[in-house]
Structure formats: C-alpha cells, structure tokens
Amino acid sequence: MDAIIVIDSDIQKCSCIKAVLEFVDYENIHMAGPDDWQNALVSPDKLKAVLITESVVKEAPQRVAALKEWAPQAPVILIRDTGGKARLGKDVSSKILASIGYPLKYQDLTSTLQQAEVYCATRGKAREGSHSPELFRSLVGNSRGIQQVRRMIDKVSDSDATVLILGESGTGKEVVARNIHYHSPRRNKPFVPLNCGAIPSELLESELFGHEKGAFTGAISARQGRFEMAEGGTLFLDEIGDMDMQMQVKLLRVLQERTFERVGSNKTMTANVRIIAATHRNLEKAIEDGSFREDLYYRLNVFPIEMPPLRERAEDIPLLIQEIIKRLQHENRGSVSLTQSAVMALSQHHWPGNVRELANVIERLVIMHPFGVVDMRDLPEKYQVDPGGEDAQVPDYTMIKIDDPEVARIPRNGIDLKEHLSNLECTLIKQALEDAEGVVAHAANRLHLRRTTLVEKLRKYGIQRADEVT
Ligand SMILES: Nc1ncnc2c1ncn2[C@@H]1O[C@H](COP(=O)(O)OP(=O)(O)O)[C@@H](O)[C@H]1O
Ligand SMILES: [Mg+2]
C-alpha cells in the first residue's frame, strides 16, 4: 500500500498537486481524469490514498461511490476548491475521510496523509482478523498495584473462596471478577453478574433466588434466579454495599448454608456457586452507620482485593490507552493515535472516573478525530496541561507511549530520538527488575541480555539494585 492517485479534470492541476506531494517525499503518485482512474496504472489495493478535487465530485457526486467500489480499502481525501468549506451531501461526505484546502498547505497535507496511513493500517488489521475476540477483558497494567492484584488473582482463582473486591468506580473491579472466574476450575460454567444497586429491593429477592408461578402479582410464570443460573459457576454481586438490610439477611443465609428457596416455594435448593462481591463503598463505615451487617461483611471479606485508583498508577495509562484503542479497532469503531504530549497530558490527569473515564475520553477522540493524530491541544480542555506550569515535569514512563510500531508517530514538533530511546530502555529495565523482584539475573533473562550487560546498564542509568540496598 504505497501508491497515491490524484484525480482532477485539469491535468495541470493534477501535476501541480503531484509536485507538492513529491516535494514532501511521497512517491508512486499517479494522475487520472474524472472518469478514467480505472485505467491508471495502479492496482486499487495498492493505494494508500485517493485525492480527488471538489469540482470533480460536485460535477457528479456518484463518482465517489464508484471510486469506493473500485478501491474499497483506500481512504478518499477531498481537495476543496478554496480554503473554505465544501458543501456535499451526507452520503458523499460519509465516504470521504478528510478534506484539505487548495492551495495545499504543508501542515494540512502531511497530517491528512498521516491520517490516511493510520486508516490503512487499521483496515489491514481488521481484515486480517487474526485476533479472535477476547472472552474476557484482560487486566492491563504493569504498575506495582496491578501486579499485586494479578498475584492475588493467581492465588485465589483455584479455590472456591469468596472474594470481595473494593475500589472506586471504574477501577476495573468487574475485570478482576471475570479474570478470577476465567482462571478458576469453574471457567466452563457461567459467570453471572448482578448489579445489586440497580435493582429495586422488592425485586432483588426474586432476581437472586427466582420465583414460582403466582408467587406475587405479576409472577405469571416460574423463573430461575441468578443463583440457579450460576450453578457450578460464579455469581458476581456488584455494588453489594447498596443492598438493603433485609436482603443482606437472606444473602447471609445462603452463604452460610449454601441453600435457598425460590420465592413462593418451600422446596430447598442447594447452591454450588462461587461468590465474588464488589463495592465502591467503604463497608466498615457502612457498618458503623448501621447500613451494612457486620456478620455479612465477615462472610464476604474472606479474601479482599483492593483496586488502586488510576491516579495512583499513572504509569499504566499509556498501556491502557493502547488497549482501549485496540478494542475500538477490533470492534471496527475506528482508531486514533496520540502524540507523546497528548499521552503525557493524560498521564497527569486526576481521573476521578478511573479507567472508565479514560475509555470514554478515547472513544470521544475516535469520534472527533477519526483515524487522526491527536495532539495535546486536541484534547478536551480539562485534560490539557499548561506546558509552562509546574505540572510540566514529565515522568519517564510517559515516554513509552503507544508501542505498536504501526501506530507510533513522531510528534509534530519532532523528537529527541536518543533521549526517547534511553528513557524507554530505562523504563523497561526498571520494569524487568520489578517483575524479577530485584534479582538481576532474572531481569536480564527477561530482557534477553547477559547479566553483565544489564549490570553495566544499571550503572549507566544509576538504577539501584535490590541487593545493593542496605
Ligand atoms: N486493568 C484494566 N485493563 C483493561 N481494561 C480495564 C482495566 N480496568 C478497567 N478496564 C475497563 O474500564 C472499564 C471499567 O471497568 P469495570 O471493571 O467495569 O470497573 P468497576 O467495576 O470498578 O466500576 C471497563 O470498560 C473495563 O474493561
Ligand atoms: Mg462495576
């Protein structure tokens, strides 16, 4: 995919545009008239961009559809007649990736062509379809906090122990619950989530335990509850802190006796269900306030896992951004790439809504800048940082950025390659050391380096080895 085709009725204008493209180092540029692009000596699947002028499109808007039919994978870029706006019908503009004014401006041209490249790269990946959809969302992150959580998941998955996951909203509590289930012997049985806070308390009992026909007004037929649905598997009781006291008693009984009855039935059923509960509330405080039962708390709190808020693991932010973009690409919802300064700004945000808020921001960027390159100043205002301000201290980890070579981009104002690479090296070494719990030989293994080479590098970067700490 390296060819570009320029379409206009005026051959003079075509060659003018071609000259500009060549001037900024693009090669393999073909020219064609309004209806003879099929005759151009280029195969449509080799095209990385089609540049078509506004006058050609206005003359016959159906040309764009025909063009898309001929080269469905190629991004179409409109060259407007002037610097102003082009007025085109909706079905035409939906087939156009971006437009640029004429005469061409260097900045616009390069960033638009970059956008086209990202578009092609993503399309290519979507077509390969080699990645099967993930059954559960993996727990991304390399921070100490997330590594600790991963170790806890490893420890508890094999058992049937009840797990209580605590942490602010959006930190990934459900991700953890799904991971535990997935790594447990129950993985081939259902994982059944229930948001206890979202269901009115009078309905919660029948939701959990099911009901018999006629058990209450409206119970026109018998129905299974979540406990039955989760038989053999895992029941995830989300927002358990929002459950009312009456239901808490009933839940406690199931946890103690492992039996329950459907509403309106006296037939006792046994439950072979693993319970994972989660809440963003402080349950100890709720006990003090009298809104949560202490005995239930102890039943649930067998194995607590605490999810750290995102602001305390800012070094995970670049990885999470990458993961979220991958997901959006996978779902064919588009893509973006972020410059380093954009990633840096996002790494400094406070994130009261945690990973969920981050995912929302990225989704918004994909909509606002489809396949575009997002710089710090393109971020919604509250995520921008003042480059002169005190917050401008850039921590090392922000240098990692999107490490997918196809997506990695040089920021508009250039990059100090040497510094970037040594920062990256330093970060990866620190990470390897952390993973290896300070054992240099193991860290060297992880980095495919000889031990002595790593020791040298540690000295060069002034990184302390665990065994040197006195
Ligand atoms: N460590 C993580 N890795 C990947 N995705 C995550 C991670 N943590 C959270 N997410 C994503 O963030 C969103 C919120 O996570 P969720 O588990 O629903 O949070 P909570 O239950 O704590 O409110 C989901 O889209 C989830 O996939
Ligand atoms: Mg949740």
Q: How far is the CA of 395 from the centre of ligand 2 (A)?
A: 30
| Nearest ligand to the CA atom of 167 | 1
What is the distance between the alpha carbons of residues 121 and 199, in angstroms, rounded to a whole number?
44
Number of helical (H) and strand (E) elements in the chain, helices listed first:
18, 16
DSSP bridge partners of 433? none
- State which residues have CB under 5 angstroms from ligand 2, the bound ion: 174
pLDDT in tens, 92-146: 888 898 899 998 888 788 888 888 887 877 666 555 443 333 445 678 998 999 9
CA of 281 to the centre of ligand 1 (A): 17
Q: Which of 60, 16, 70 is nearest to 38 (CA)?
A: 70
What pLDDT does residue 137 have?
61
pLDDT at 413: 60
Ligand 1 lining (C-beta closer than 6 Å): 137, 139-141, 167, 169-175, 323, 355-356, 359
Using the atom order of ligand 1, give the atom closest to the CA of residue 355: 12
Q: Is pLDDT of 167 > 90?
A: yes
Query: Which ligand has the nearest atom to the CA of 175?
Result: 1
Report which DSSP code applies to 387. Answer: T
Tens digit of pLDDT for each residue in 365-380? Answer: 998 888 889 999 999 9
Q: Which two tokens stand for residue 3?
A: 């060819």
- Sequence-distant (6+) residues with CB within 8 A of 353 are 169, 170, 360
Q: Which atom of ligand 1 is nearest to the CA of 171?
A: 22
Whether residue 387 is predicted with pLDDT greater than 70 in this model: the reply is: no
Pocket test for ligand 1, best of 175, 305, 316, 351 (most atoms within 8 A of CB): 175
Q: Determine the residue of 191, 242, 279, 355 to mutate for testing ligand 1's pocket, defined as the one with the most ligand atoms within 8 A of the Cβ atom.
A: 355
Q: Per-residue pLDDT for 332 more than 90?
A: no
Closest-lying ligand 1 atom to the alpha carbon of residue 176: 17
Q: What is the rounded CA–CA span in Å between residue 429 and residue 317?
A: 18
Relative to the alpha carbon of 242, which ligand is closest? 2
Average of pLDDT values for 241-265?
94
Number of Cβ within a 10 Å radius of residue 49: 26
SS (H, E, C) 148-179: HHHHHHHHHHCCCCCEEEECCCCCCHHHHHHH
Residue 178 exposed, middle or buried by CB count within 10 Å (0-12, 13-18, 19+)? buried
- One-letter identity of residue 278: A
How many angstroms does the Cα of residue 305 sit away from the middle of ligand 1?
A: 15
Ligand nearest to the CA of 153: 1
87 Cα: distance to centroid of ligand 1 (angstroms): 41
Dist. CA 364 → ligand 1 center (Å): 17
* pLDDT of residue 396 exceeding 70: no
Closest atom of ligand 1 to CA, residue 141: 1
Is the pLDDT score of 268 beyond 80? yes
**Out of 70-74, 76-80, 224-228, least confident range:** 70-74
Ligand 1 atom, smallest distance to 175 CA: 17
The mean per-residue pLDDT over the stretch 43-65 comes to: 91
Pocket test of ligand 1: the residue of 307, 313, 324, 356 to mutate, having most ligand atoms within 8 Å of its CB, is 356
CA of 168 to the centre of ligand 1 (A): 11
Q: What is the mean pLDDT of residues 148-159?
A: 94
| Spatial CB neighbours of 110, under 8 Å, sequence gap ≥ 6 | 24
Rounded CA-CA distance 123/68 in Å is 14
Residue 141 sits at φ, ψ, to 5 deg, of 145, 145
Give, using CA atoms, the residue closest to atom 9 of ligand 1.
172
Ligand nearest to the CA of 172: 1
Ligand 1: centre distance to CA 185 (Å):
23
- Enumerate long-range contacts of 145-149, CB under 8 Å, 24 or more apart: 145/308, 145/312, 145/313, 146/308, 146/313, 146/316, 147/434, 147/435, 149/176, 149/305, 149/307, 149/308
Whole-prediction pTM value?
Answer: 0.63
Tokens of 378: 């393109």
Closest C-alpha to ligand 1, atom 10:
172
Q: What is the mean pLDDT of residues 163-167?
A: 98
